[in-house]
Structure 1
Amino acid sequence: MSVRTVTQAIPAIRGRVQAGAPLAPFTWFRVGGPAEWLVRPADEADLVALLAGLPAGMPLTVLGAASNLIIRDGGLPGVVLRLGGAFGRVEVEAAGLVAGAAALDVTVAQHAAAAGLAGLEFLSGIPGAVGGAVAMNAGAYGAEVKDMLDWAEVATGEGIRRLAAAEFRFAYRHAALPPRAVVTRARFHARPGDAAAIAARMAEIRAAREATQPVRARTGGSTFKNPPGAKAWELIDAAGCRGLRLGAAQVSEKHCNFLLNTGGATAAALEALGEEVRARVLAHAGVALDWEIKRLGVPA
């Protein structure tokens, strides 16, 4: 498709539209090819106008904090949507708070703690943003988004729609969104709590992450979902994959359900290493691990 044709296919919006934009700097792995078009809507009305005007066959990818994601080396075709600014507000209410899709999960936890609201501490252990947390039912330290969500608003080409938590049909690391819908805001309920106890729980979560996970490395968080009744990291460790390398891609020695870019790794190497881990676990334990990290785009 020519640049002229694609340009005409993208509706005029007030936000920023950038062709051939590098995406690797946005991702935690620091790998991946460019976006055909990177679009940053100015606000909700701008987002709705964009969605209403996109051709039905044009690929659409929403890029949040890009923490649990491998973008393949050939990049992402079509429109890559990145929300910022107007989508990052957090508003504290009497028995909870409303957060924009671009607000970081840890920021939501911090706002709740400052207001003396308990129950959202687990969000401080999730390295992502609210939109992605809702879209994948993110969870950590014994709680999931489904446990605390009242409603979320999504944008479609028809406008903004508010969905109750039950309408997302949440399952483990899964939520059902309407086709080509983009999460814009979410409301989480919470309960009054002791400020000192809330702060202590968040400090405990932070310390646990730093002690057990490679939080300062180029990584993508948990690579594989935990199978029913098992821990992915234990299966990986038992299959002899701790520290396994493929070029500059490595299975973390600190937590072997994490992949690392030790410097100069490609998306292809990271994905191939993950598939090698899956093959070894299947051969050793007879368990087929499912990817938790999303792998998007085309190969180089």
Structure 2
Amino acid sequence: MSRAFSETGPDAAAALPPLRGRVQAEAPLAPFTWFRTGGPAQLLVRPADVEDLLLLLRDRPRGLPLTVIGAASNLLVRDGGVRGVVVKLARGFSDIAVDGAGILAGAAALDATVAEHAAAAGLAGLEFLCGIPGAIGGAVAMNAGAYGAEVKDVLDWAEVATPAGLLRLSAAELGFAYRRSTLPEGGVVVRARFHARPGDAAEIAARMNAIRAAREESQPVRARTGGSTFKNPDGQKAWALIDAAGCRGLRQGDAQVSEKHCNFLLNLGAATAADLEGLGEAVRARVAAQSGTMLEWEIKRIGEFAA
């Protein structure tokens, strides 16, 4: 692992600006990911707050790549680890507050927790977030959606840290499309405001309970998984294409296509990232051969293959 990162030198941490947050070299990333597999980060940085993050973005050595991770619920870290700086937003970015008929949420706040805060305040329209297993920063960056709604439908603005400073961008300025947004170069979402509407607390709770029950029934929520593996092609469902190609339950090592929902990959215990990615590519090949449709990865894959 150290050899893989030797090009940037052993003193990479010393080359960073004077940060107040935690900096850790050769930091294991597998414990953060829902798959529980993958290699380490050359440098893992947990900024203390927005000002600390802005300092890092502005003054880091340009020879050090920078990667941002959130709740890592839809992330596969390759076995060779991640070169450069991996940023994980934590405590200084997790505040949630009611703001009139809306919610202000830090990037590290969990989607489900934001939904719960809205419900407690009698605000409707954000219930769908309780069905998305991730954090707000990632939800904005990828225009996360579930149960008939997407982030673009409820976002007023997002604050984005960039090497040039902090920007506040409207939903229109973020250029939302299916499972993506257009962030500024080197931009990191740090906070967002969502609009909601007054609602009946009992009705809001009932909708959230229905979403949780539907998710529990249809998805392997208690497994080591990375959520939806592939994006839905236009007018089609990825799971149906995978099922039609005979991939339900397909296995490679300890990596398996879920029998419960075949657009989910599972780590049965000892799967490597290479096992999971290789299985995903095998599924893509089978689906393409059977239907002529090449599935596009929804899971974000980062880092390097093991030597």
TM tier, smaller:
over 0.9
Q: Determine if the alignment matches structure 1 residue 2 to structure 2 residue 9.
A: yes
Q: Which residue of 2 aligns with 1:231?
A: 237
Q: Which residue of 1 aligns with 2:197?
A: 191
CA distance in 1, matches of 2:100, 2:231: 35
Amino acid at match of 1:161: L
Name which of 7, 23, 33 aligns with 2:39: 33
Q: Which residue of 1 aligns with 2:4?
A: none
Q: Determine if the alignment matches structure 1 residue 154 to structure 2 residue 160.
A: yes
CA distance in 1, matches of 2:151, 2:122: 19
Q: Determine if the alignment matches structure 1 residue 213 to structure 2 residue 219.
A: yes
Structure 1: stretches of 5+ with no match in the other structure: none
CA distance in 2, matches of 1:57, 1:199: 49
Offset, 1:157: 2.1
Q: Which residue of 2 aligns with 1:93?
A: 99
Q: Which residue of 2 aligns with 1:279?
A: 285
Amino acid at match of 1:241: C
Calculate the TM-score normalised by the size of structure 1. 0.99
Deviations for 1:22-49, whole angstroms, at most 9, x for unmatched residues? 0000000001000000001111111111
Q: Which residue of 1 aligns with 2:88?
A: 82
Equivalent residue runs for 1:1-300 within 5 Å: 1-4=8-11, 6-300=12-306
Aligned residue pairs total 299
CA distance in 2, matches of 1:160, 1:107: 25
- SS of alignment partner, residue 172 of structure 2: helix
CA distance in 2, matches of 1:59, 1:126: 29
Offset, 1:3: 1.2
Q: Is the 8 A contact 2:13 2:25 kept in 1?
A: no
- SS of alignment partner, residue 108 of structure 2: coil
Question: What CA RMSD, in Å, does the superposition of the two structures yield over aligned residues?
Answer: 0.7
CA distance in 1, matches of 2:13, 2:190: 25
- SS of alignment partner, residue 172 of structure 1: coil
Offset, 1:167: 0.6
CA distance in 2, matches of 1:8, 1:86: 23
Deviations for 1:267-293, whole angstroms, at most 9, x for unmatched residues? 000000000000000000111100000
Calculate the TM-score normalised by the size of structure 2. 0.96
Q: Percent identity?
A: 72
Offset, 1:95: 1.0
Amino acid at match of 1:158: A
- SS of alignment partner, residue 167 of structure 1: coil
- SS of alignment partner, residue 274 of structure 2: helix
CA distance in 2, matches of 1:241, 1:142: 26
CA distance in 2, matches of 1:152, 1:99: 10
Q: Is the 8 A contact 2:66 2:87 kept in 1?
A: yes
Amino acid at match of 1:186: A
Offset, 1:56: 2.7
